[in-house]
Amino acid sequence: MRAIKFILLLALLATQTALACGTNRSTGDMGIVIERASGSLLVVEHSSDTILCRVEGLGDLSHASAVYSRDQAFAYIFARDGGLSKVDIRKGVVVKRVIQGGNSIGGAISQSGRYIAVSNYDPGGIKIFRSDDLALVADIPAPIAGSDKRSKTVGLVDIPGEQFVYASFEGNDIFKVDISDEKNPQVTRIKNVGRQPYDGLVSDDGRYYIAGLFGEDGLAMVDLWQKELQAKRILDHYGKGEKKLPVYKMPHLEGWAMNREHAFLPAIGQQQLLVMDLQSWKEKSRIPLKAMPVFAMAQPDGRQIWVNFAFPNNQWLQVINAQTLEVVKTIEAGKGVLHMEFTPRGEKVWVSVRNKNEIHVYDTKTLERLKVLKAQSPSGIFFTSRAHKIGL
């Protein structure tokens, strides 16, 4: 019975995807959806909420992410098996794919678009490639103090000036790399920022880098505009006196929401969203949630925060009013809600629902579902508007 259902699903997907890739159409309203189980992605268009085509042969996409070229024509896919792929989304083809490591966990593209950096669990450190031909430019370790081993690297982001910032999980450090001179990369190391940084994000202006700490309650924040870089502890001991729940899925800092006044941060081991004042960097409030949050994503105008949750309660979405700091709607979308992506001006949000093999499109004004698209175990959704944002 399962085999018959899978064949019918493939047939339906084939009718959906025999569409518009292979043309030189404009790319401003396009994007991709990762199909994690099949090593493929869907090229999509969000003006009419349609699937354009499927691209296959992208390796292990179980924790895949993507960035875009400046012209929004090429997506660079970071696969869990260490694969780095350059995909022409207009034609729906893989231009080039290289295996650059054994286990990678995301990447970033430089300000000019010339360089692609990849964060690695194995062999650790980061590698930097030219974006045009994926030729290796630099292999930069993340050394662990007192050891000859490399640390896993996490939270890799781009910042202005052909620079990248990332954290080392076992090394407890934050690094900044300047690749302006590709033959002589400049590495700055900020030591002992806290125990086990597990992810990171940078503010929209590229000034503040924040790393979450798995080994202790709190975050490490670096003001990248300062001449001498150092980490400052913020939200220290936020879980003090509270029972910690099992963590089945790490929160993602690049999914942490910021508007002009506040940052909305999932608390590890808690069913709460922490609200931090961006002037004082201190906790202002907490929002109780239905389960343990993974992504908290802000609508482009900052008025709503959409939250999804970790296993075993990953069928839910909650929508928060950023002014009143209250949950205004709880949506049961289906098991395996993995990712959300707003259209560039925020009138719609796309949601991947892995276990139902569906993508749901919601109206952010009415909070009603507009459309359902079929996909094979969808996860990450990435629209081309990301090409012009720092840290994405």
Q: Spell out the per-residue pLDDT of the chain, length 392, in tens.
A: 544 444 444 444 444 444 568 877 899 999 999 999 999 999 999 999 999 999 999 999 988 999 999 999 999 999 999 999 999 999 999 999 999 998 888 999 999 999 999 999 999 999 999 999 999 999 999 999 888 889 999 999 999 999 999 999 999 999 999 999 999 999 999 999 999 998 888 988 999 999 988 888 889 999 999 999 999 999 887 765 566 655 545 555 665 677 778 889 888 788 999 999 988 889 999 999 999 999 999 999 989 999 999 999 999 999 999 999 999 999 999 999 999 999 999 999 999 999 999 999 999 999 999 999 999 999 999 999 999 999 98
Say if 33 falls within a structural domain: no
CATH number for the domain including 161? 2.130.10.10
pTM, to two decimals = 0.91
Say if 315 falls within a structural domain: no
Can you tell me the distance from the alpha carbon of 42 to that of 54, in angstroms, rounded to the nearest whole number?
A: 5
Say if 159 falls within a structural domain: yes
Say if 311 falls within a structural domain: no
Say if 92 falls within a structural domain: no
Say if 237 falls within a structural domain: yes
> Which residues have C-beta within 8 Å of that of residue 110, sequence separation ≥ 6?
116, 117, 158, 162, 163, 164, 179
Tokens representing 126?
């980061």
Can you tell me the distance from the alpha carbon of 308 to that of 290, in angstroms, rounded to the nearest whole number?
A: 10
| Residue numbers of the domain that contains 136 | 100-249
CA atoms in the 13 A half-sphere facing the CB of 75: 33
> Which residues have C-beta within 8 Å of that of residue 23, sequence separation ≥ 6?
90
Q: How many CB atoms lie within 10 A of CB 387?
A: 21
Say if 56 falls within a structural domain: no
Say if 72 falls within a structural domain: no
**How many domains, the chain?**
1
Of 14, 15, 28, 16, whose CA–CA distance to 371 is shortest?
Answer: 16
